[in-house]
């Protein structure tokens, strides 16, 4: 296996699908008895806190009983622009100073003391944009808390984490929908809005809150400030500004904030998730589905063929490969990293429904 430093390039803006499993795949994140740590809410709160500190964006997430999915975008372009004072302030929010073993709020003197150590500031700057540091910040404290709570020792997590780079918009849509639909695929819930501790649930909640606010200001006349999309089903709204949770990357690019896509709105993404979710088998023995015809225009706008997209949604096979992307993207990535070939988790060009795609892209 290649060293992790060769799998993750922290010098460029890039997106990674990361997974972490509990040791022996035990359901250590499931609801526990009264008085014990509520682990899923703790992870979600921790993610909110870390996203406000790191130069890493949370595109979506899903916390299951025995594993964790994170889709993260590293932003070396942002961390490069931070002043030494901002790096120090963020680092001390991440790892606050202690007094007699108890964490305390960093003072201006603490920040200035760190700024004077230029070598340490440079190290902190790098670490505030690293996937490994981010995962450590999420997973290590939880493992310590859980062991202390249960009065045991040993591993909580199966390993560090696994990551695959997401190379293009087609792969990104496929990946975030796959993560958002995990509870539906597992048969735990029937609809995305019922799934707890997922990115899509927070997007739906933000949308509902925005509609309530519009209705209260306009006495129910939502259309005065947000118009219905043409030729779409009732209820589809084109918001003047996407109602996105602050700790999640918006679906749509805006002038002041990077989004996931340039030509896909929040409502269009929710339609994709809902329609695909209707056809996801509720158990490994369930029937395979088909993408409805009315989704073709949405998927074609990002040049994503329906068949391989559905194959990823309905497949129960174990993912392999180090990247996710179309053949052209894989070939470009193999040239960039100077490797003869890369294995894509899913062949987004040729896979048939119900099959996993193990595409190999050779550098030319």
DSSP state of 338: T
**Strand, helix or coil at 40?**
helix
Q: Report which of residues 222 and 314 the model is more confident about.
A: 314
Task: State whether the Cα torsion 62-197-203-86 is positive or negative.
Answer: negative
pTM of the model: 0.78
d(CA 200, CA 213): 20
pLDDT band at 59, cuts 50/70/90?
Answer: very high
Under 8 Å between Cβ of 203 and 270: yes
Give the ranges where 151-305 is alpha helix by DSSP (H). Answer: 169-180, 182-185, 199-218, 266-279, 296-300
Provide the domain limits for residue 40: 4-163
Q: Say if residue 69's pLDDT is above 80.
A: yes
If asked whether residues 171 and 282 sit together in one domain, one would say yes
**Strand, helix or coil at 226?**
coil
If asked whether residues 67 and 44 sit together in one domain, one would say yes
If asked whether residues 118 and 264 sit together in one domain, one would say no
If asked whether residues 303 and 201 sit together in one domain, one would say yes
Of residues 331, 323, 333, the one with CA closest to residue 362: 331
If asked whether residues 142 and 205 sit together in one domain, one would say no
341: left (phi over 0), alpha (psi -120 to 50) or beta: beta
Considering the chain, what is the average pLDDT of its residues? 78
**Strand, helix or coil at 72?**
strand
We report the CATH number of the domain holding residue 144 as 3.30.70.1290
Q: Percentage of the chain with pLDDT > 90?
A: 42
Q: Which residues is 227 bridged to in the sheet?
A: 238
Of residues 183, 222, 227, the one with CA closest to residue 29: 183
HSE at residue 2, side-chain half, CA atoms within 13 A, is 14
Domain boundary among 100, 131, 163: 163
If asked whether residues 159 and 171 sit together in one domain, one would say no
Supply the pLDDT for residue 346. 62
- Which tokens is 102 given? 């108890």
If asked whether residues 87 and 190 sit together in one domain, one would say no
If asked whether residues 12 and 150 sit together in one domain, one would say yes
Supply the pLDDT for residue 118. 96
If asked whether residues 313 and 357 sit together in one domain, one would say yes
Q: Percentage of the chain with pLDDT > 70?
A: 71
Q: Report which of residues 363 and 155 the model is more confident about.
A: 155
Domain boundary among 128, 163, 198: 163
Domain boundary among 142, 163, 184: 163
d(CA 320, CA 214): 45
What are the backbone dihedrals phi and psi of residue 156, each rounded to the nearest 5 degrees, phi first? -100, -40
If asked whether residues 171 and 131 sit together in one domain, one would say no
Q: Which residues is 361 bridged to in the sheet?
A: 342
Supply the pLDDT for residue 332. 77
Under 8 Å between Cβ of 179 and 69: yes
Longest dimension (CA), the chain: 65
If asked whether residues 305 and 202 sit together in one domain, one would say yes
Q: Which residues is 157 bridged to in the sheet?
A: 22
HEC sequence for 126-164? HHCCCHHHHHHHHHHHHHHHHHHHHCCCCCCECCCCEEE
The number of distinct structural domains making up the chain is 2
Question: Mean pLDDT over residues 72-101, rounded?
Answer: 95
pLDDT in tens, 283-318: 455 543 322 334 332 223 323 444 555 555 555 455
If asked whether residues 113 and 12 sit together in one domain, one would say yes
Supply the pLDDT for residue 204. 84
Task: State whether the Cα torsion 180-283-19-352 is positive or negative.
Answer: negative
- Which tokens is 356 given? 């996993």
d(CA 174, CA 273): 10
Supply the pLDDT for residue 279. 67
pLDDT band at 257, cuts 50/70/90?
Answer: confident
């Amino acid at each position: 296996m290649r060293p992790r430093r060769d799998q993750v390039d922290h010098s460029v803006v890039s997106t990674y699908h990361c997974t972490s499993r509990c040791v022996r795949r035990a359901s250590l994140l499931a609801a526990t008895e009264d008085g014990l740590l509520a682990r899923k809410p703790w992870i979600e709160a921790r993610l909110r806190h870390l996203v406000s500190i790191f130069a890493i964006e949370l595109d979506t997430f899903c916390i299951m009983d025995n594993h964790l999915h994170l889709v993260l975008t590293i932003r070396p372009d942002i961390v490069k622009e931070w002043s030494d004072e901002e790096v120090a302030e963020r680092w001390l929010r991440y790892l606050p100073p202690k007094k007699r073993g108890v964490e305390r709020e960093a003072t201006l003197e603490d920040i200035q003391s760190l700024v004077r150590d230029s070598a340490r500031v440079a190290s902190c700057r790098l670490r505030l944009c690293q996937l490994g540091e981010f995962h450590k910040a999420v997973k290590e404290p939880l493992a310590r808390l859980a062991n202390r709570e249960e009065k045991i020792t040993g591993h909580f997590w199966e390993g560090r984490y696994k990551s695959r780079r997401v190379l293009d918009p087609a792969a990104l849509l496929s990946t975030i929908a796959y993560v958002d639909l995990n509870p539906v695929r597992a048969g735990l819930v029937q609809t995305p809005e019922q799934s707890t501790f997922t990115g899509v649930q927070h997007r739906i909640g933000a949308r509902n809150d925005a509609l309530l606010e519009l209705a209260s200001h306009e006495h129910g006349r939502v259309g005065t400030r947000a118009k219905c999309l043409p030729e779409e089903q009732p209820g589809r709204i084109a918001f003047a500004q996407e109602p996105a949770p602050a700790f999640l990357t918006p679906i749509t690019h805006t002038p002041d904030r990077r989004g996931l896509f340039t030509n896909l709105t929040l409502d269009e993404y929710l339609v994709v998730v809902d329609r695909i979710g209707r056809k996801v088998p509720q158990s490994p023995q369930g029937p395979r589905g088909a993408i409805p015809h009315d989704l073709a225009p949405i998927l074609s706008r990002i040049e994503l063929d329906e068949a391989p997209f559905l194959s990823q949604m309905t497949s129960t096979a174990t993912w392999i490969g180090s990247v996710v992307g179309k053949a052209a993207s894989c070939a470009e990535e193999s040239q960039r990293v100077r490797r003869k070939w890369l294995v894509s988790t899913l062949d987004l060009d040729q896979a048939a429904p119900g099959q996993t795609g193990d595409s190999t892209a050779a550098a030319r």
